[in-house]
Amino acid sequence: MSSVQIREQAYIDGAWTTPSTQKTYQIVNPATGEVLANVADCSADDATLAVEAAHRAFGPWSKKTAKERSVILKKWFDLIMEHQAELARMMTMECGKPINESMGEVVYGASFVEWFAEEAKRVYGDIIPPPKGDRKVMAIKQPIGVSTAITPWNFPLAMITRKCAPALAAGCTAVVKPAEATPLTALALAELGAKAGLPKGVFNVVTASHGKDVGAVLTQHPLVKKVSFTGSTPVGKQLLKQAADTVKKSSMELGGNAPFIVFDDADIDAAISGAIASKYRNTGQTCVCVNRFLVQDGIYDQFAKALADRVSKMTIGNGLEESTEQGPLINQAAINKVTELVDDATSSGANVLTGGPRSDIGSLFYAPTVLTNVTDKMRVFNEEIFGPVAPLFRFKTEEDAIRMANDTPFGLAAYFYTQDMGRIWRVAESLEYGMVGINEGIISTEVAPFGGVKESGLGREGSKYGIDEYVEIKYLCLGGLD
Ligand code: SIN
């Protein structure tokens, strides 16, 4: 088995491509500051070439049978899994994710390719009972066309496959702009896709140090028919505005402010395990990480102590070390944001039970932290932390918990722990969120619909619904059938 190389050129129309600007930019390991590669710094012109290539490839790719596309996607899945260890290492080096989590992300990312390879064959239409006897009424589903994916650094592989596997399965072609910080995994995916047999132009990767110009092409070019973005809500709103001019179908997986409610009747051990898994996954840098712990009065002190005990034992370090549970944050801006939020809370009376900055390991490390005595007047109640800080808010009644949980413009993921069956249904139905974990802290899987409500986004990824984002429904009325 040949190894996956570090690629530095963009991948456009089936070729490794030097950008028109001839410029490159550095990819830096956040754990060590080491320069990993000098990657193509593409411009709007390069993005346009990629869109045009994807457009040319669309006709032949969409005309393949679903089975033919499925076979190629399955090969891509196999190759990703064969290269699991190398991809995981590359991912850890470019984003700092602990290696065990990176190994898990490769499996998670590959699962979307496998799932949609299977779903490709199940894009069914409908035969609809007609209103008159002389006609047949049908609805067919057709691939929408060139799809673009603007993806984040926190899941360098899985967010690409979660968008592009359904696109390719449906018969669309794709242009990806990976996050500035994490293009290496994306380029490796392109290499494996080519080996799997993806024809030229079907999957393109355009790398750039400042995504604005490339992003403008991917959201505004008339040949692009679908835009999918994962990232912050402000950027998502801007991309939606850009896509509006040509009325492109859009999916947005945006920011969250996930509540994690612990009721007095919860199984506390299970709640602590769920809390650790959800809050500290990828060092607190996922959109579905807990942002606010809402803990009922009667169990608050016990929960706070047990959580702080577990958190204080977590191993912090370079993600390449097997023992590392918490890696670095992605950049200085992330450290600044976390520091500001913790300072804001402590200056208004919050207590640090464990944690705080850890600059002795490296400038981008922040120790996993637990804050008590936190109130809804502090910034951590409203703002996405995106770091390893667990603020614990206190509540008295179920109604209070639901009100506090829903008191946010965001609505991605929510979690709650209780053993009361009536409460399970009441709370699950009352939470204004796209996804709810009930006595469970990790809910992401290729078989379930991932996505948010309110300002957390539009559309669903994964599951049987994920492919709908890449098809148009066409109504056919066949008349004159006397
Ligand atoms: C994200 O943070 O954007 C994705 C998290 C997941 O898929 O679990």
Ligand 1 binding pocket includes 151 (Cβ within 6 Å): no
Taking 90 as the threshold, does the pLDDT of residue 482 lie above it? no
Judgement on whether residues 329 and 460 belong to the same structural domain of the protein: no
Taking 90 as the threshold, does the pLDDT of residue 1 lie above it? no
CATH code where residue 343 lies: 3.40.309.10
Best residue among 289, 444, 461 to mutate for probing ligand 1's pocket (most ligand atoms within 8 Å of CB) is: 444
Judgement on whether residues 64 and 131 belong to the same structural domain of the protein: yes
* Ligand 1 atom closest to the CA of 450, numbered from 1: 7
Ligand 1 binding pocket includes 286 (Cβ within 6 Å): yes
Regarding beta strands 258-262 and 413-417, do their DSSP bridges make them parallel or antiparallel, or are they unpaired?
A: parallel
Query: How many Å apart are CA 174 and CA 163, to the nearest integer?
Result: 9
From the CA of 416, how far away is ligand 1's center (Å)? 18
Q: What is the largest CA-CA distance in the chain?
A: 83
Write down the pLDDT at residue 63. 98
Query: How many Å apart are CA 458 and CA 252, to the nearest integer?
Result: 5
Q: What average pLDDT does the structure give for the chain?
A: 97
Best residue among 159, 291, 386, 447 to mutate for probing ligand 1's pocket (most ligand atoms within 8 Å of CB) is: 159
Write down the pLDDT at residue 253. 98
Query: How many Å apart are CA 165 and CA 178, to the nearest integer?
Result: 15
Segment 72-97 shows an average pLDDT of 98
* Ligand 1 atom closest to the CA of 444, numbered from 1: 8
CATH code where residue 190 lies: 3.40.605.10
Segment 356-361 shows an average pLDDT of 81
pTM: 0.97
* Atom 8 in ligand 1: residue holding the nearest Cα: 444
Segment 64-91 shows an average pLDDT of 98
Best residue among 106, 228, 286, 410 to mutate for probing ligand 1's pocket (most ligand atoms within 8 Å of CB) is: 286
Whether residue 211 is contained in a domain is answered as yes
From the CA of 445, how far away is ligand 1's center (Å)? 10
Ligand 1 binding pocket includes 185 (Cβ within 6 Å): no
For the sheet containing 413-417, what is the strand order? 351-357, 366-374, 389-395, 290-296, 258-262, 413-417, 435-438
Give residue-wise pLDDT tens across range 130-169. Answer: 999 999 999 999 999 999 999 999 999 999 999 999 999 9
Q: Are 218 and 175 in contact (CB under 8 A)?
A: yes
Query: How many Å apart are CA 22 and CA 45, to the nearest integer?
Result: 12
The candidate with the shortest Cα–Cα distance to 472, out of 141, 171, 175, 58, is 141
Whether residue 409 is contained in a domain is answered as yes
Judgement on whether residues 250 and 275 belong to the same structural domain of the protein: no
Write down the pLDDT at residue 2. 80
Give residue-wise pLDDT tens across range 37-76. Answer: 999 999 999 999 999 999 999 999 999 999 999 999 999 9
Write down the pLDDT at residue 171. 98
What residues are labeled active site?
A: 253, 287
From the CA of 151, how far away is ligand 1's center (Å)? 11
Whether residue 423 is contained in a domain is answered as yes
pLDDT level of residue 221 (50, 70, 90 thresholds): very high
Give residue-wise pLDDT tens across range 412-428. Answer: 999 999 999 999 999 99
Judgement on whether residues 288 and 428 belong to the same structural domain of the protein: yes
Taking 80 as the threshold, does the pLDDT of residue 82 lie above it? yes
What domain count does the chain have? 2
Ligand 1 binding pocket includes 283 (Cβ within 6 Å): no
Enclosing domain of residue 115: 10-254+456-476
Judgement on whether residues 205 and 222 belong to the same structural domain of the protein: yes
Segment 243-252 shows an average pLDDT of 98
Taking 90 as the threshold, does the pLDDT of residue 303 lie above it? yes
Find the length of the chain.
482
